[in-house]
Amino acid sequence: MSLETEIKQTRFQSEHQKAAINVLLTGNWLYNQNALFLKQHGLTPEQFNVLRILRGNHPKPMMLLEITERMIDKSSNCTRLVEKLRQKGWVKREICATNRRQVDIFITPKGLAVLTKIDAAISQNPLQQLQTRLTKTEASELNKLLDKIRG
């Protein structure tokens, strides 16, 4: 569906303004589609992001600041997210043996299992469905353009 049809607006101040609105709308659409998919697994996108970060560093622990620095949404309350995941048994926190002021965060076997389950269902994830809508070349060009915008 075109941007104009989606937001019921036909005129924009410029192509640049239209592109910015299109990026925001598409990003929001992808976020919402991903959130619906992850909800089936008892996760929010932000919690999923934390679990993936921890899995990427597994078996080594991470500190809260390290997780926060790697998150997609830097404004997320990482402390609260980790606590919710701890309550589900998907992560654990331990006082560091060499620095008692440091808290190490680990993904648990149960957390790894939920990610494995999600990985198995990944074809249903709207983020993976981009493969059916964009060629590899188009996806590569889109990545370059988005990096250029943030650069």
pLDDT of residue 82: 95
- Give the residue, 44 or 9, on which the prediction is more confident: 44
Task: Give the chain's domain count.
Answer: 1
Q: Which residue has the tokens 């597994």?
A: 58
Within-domain flag for 7: no
pLDDT of residue 53: 97
Paired strand residues for 44: none
Q: Is pLDDT above 90 for 123?
A: no
The domain of 86 spans: 43-120
Mean pLDDT of 61-87: 92
Coil, strand, or helix at residue 108? coil
Confidence bin at 116 (pLDDT 50/70/90): very high
Domain of 52: which CATH number?
Answer: 1.10.10.10
Q: Is pLDDT above 90 for 137?
A: yes
pTM listed for this prediction = 0.86
